[in-house]
Amino acid sequence: MQYTNPVIPGFHPDPSICRVGEDYYLATSSFEYFPGVPIFHSKDLVHWRQIGHCLTTEQQLPLTGAWSSGGIYAPTLRYHDGWFYMVTTNVSGGGSFFVKAHNPEGPWSEPIQVAQKGIDPSLLFDDDGRVYLQSPTTGVEGDGIYQCEMDLETGGRRSESRLIWKGTGGAHPEGPHLYKINGLYYLMIAEGGTEYGHMETIARSNQPFGPFEPCPHNPILTNRSMGNGIHATGHADLIEAHDGTWWAVCLGIRTVSYPMGHHLGREVFLAPVNWTSDGWPVVGNNTHIEPVMDAPKLPQVLWPDKPPRDDFDDEKLDMMWTFLRNPAGGSWSLTERKGYLVLYGQAASLDEVGTPAFVGRRLCHFSCRAVAKLEFEPQHDGEEAGLTMYMDEEHHYDLAIKFIQGRRKLIFRRTVGSMQMVELRDCPEGAIELQFQALPEKFVASFRSSQTGEIEMGWGETHLLSTEVAGGFVGVMAAMYAISEAQNPAPASFDWFDYEPFQ
């Protein structure tokens, strides 16, 4: 049997994986989005379902003022002695910390700060009970991967932080993971930056602090100069399956258009790991990740597909939904009007680093439709509610109802850097269905009402919402939003939201 990469599509970068018996758990970065650090579960390494988030309260994850692509950087997920541990960094405030839980679905503990500086922290639980913390930083010995022995109760250091490896000379040595395999300590890191020069390298030692001997055939993973549509592979984590085979999860990107661009974000890829006769791992097809690869020989366990429509009939949001930073109190409700997601516009707009009323999900397919049915009767000039394809505050396409000079208008707005283009037309009475049709190279905006058929408002290139244009580390979100500077904003009532991929 074979499987198709990515195994988790859409903006889910920096995967980290652990195993408990025959169950596999995986965590990814979440940056400025809340809740933070989504957690996934699999039985066969190929089919994954989300089971929760590690950081679900503002106390655990303060994001007020977090810049775009700030917030939560790469997590590491580990299991030890009945506890799951997730260690990460909030670069916008709070530094590095870990949380723990008996159940990966939660609840997770309050954060425990760690004493070592840096991003991308990782943990190794050694056989003798010692716990080692690794992170890339700049120290007295220069740039590289530093390590200390850590107190698991307090997060404090039980040893000084020491430089253990600078890598092979690639830019930005980061994303370290230390493993103990057959009595040897293997230190795997990402180098080259998370763009097209990304790669994974490894070194080993018979002592946790080294000296570390680099693998003679580094890098052990890279898709540089490959023509298979997958690029930037790296930031990997190794796992031994319960049948004794070895696998790696890593981030990668899928590009479209020319010049190349990726707008779905960095995604989760899976690859087999083979070991050489002298004990070095080689990831994938001779260090390369392929779109289609041979599947693990584990019993296949599929999860039910999510229905394309969310009717908002539950009293809790589905865990696929996310907020832009910590949501303002009273900005949303599922109980105020049964069967509707109600948003109350905030003064923050989509064009600034703030907290608009915003509920979104990751765009996971090049070709799909995102459609929302909206009831919105604004009363104050400037009030606006609708649907957005959102990369960051300077790169987004919005389709909305807006109150302009006492009348409801339909607006299609394309924001790219300092440039903004707006299309306006009269808005029919009653509820409006707002739609973005995503195609590999463009987003097409249209609307429908009880008085009209589908009417196109315009389109914008996907490339202009790509990381190659916008920068940063996230991917496009399909989101419902509302904006208002009024003291009593009009409710924006979303009856349903459809997300449906197509070929």
List the catalytic residues. 14, 174
Contact indicator for 343, 494 with CB cutoff of 8 Å: yes
Residues 465 and 391: beta-carbon distance below 8 Å: yes
Give the Cα separation of 8 and 319 in Å (integer). 15
CA atoms within 13 A on the CB side of 75: 32
Asked if 438 and 369 count as a contact pair (C-beta separation under 8 A), the reply is yes
Residue pair 104/25 in contact (Cβ under 8 Å)? The answer is: yes
Dihedral class, residue 169 (left if φ above 0, else alpha if ψ from -120 to 50, else beta): left
Place of tokens 């680093």: 353
Beta bridge partners of 88: 97
Tell me the HSE value of 408 on the side-chain side, using a 13 A CA sphere: 16
Query: Could you please report the per-residue DSSP string of 411-470?
Result: EEEEEETTEEEEEEEEPPSS-EEEEEEEETTEEEEEEEETTEEEEEEEEEEGGGGSHHHH
- Tell the residue number behind the tokens 């190349």, with chain if given: 260
**Nearest alpha-carbon partner for 334 in 315, 309, 320, 352:** 315
List the one residue out of 133, 221, 214, 217 whose CA is nearest residue 167.
Answer: 214
Residue 343: DSSP 8-state: E
| Alpha carbons 187 and 180: distance in angstroms, whole number | 9
247 Rama sector, left if φ>0, alpha if ψ -120 to 50, beta otherwise: beta
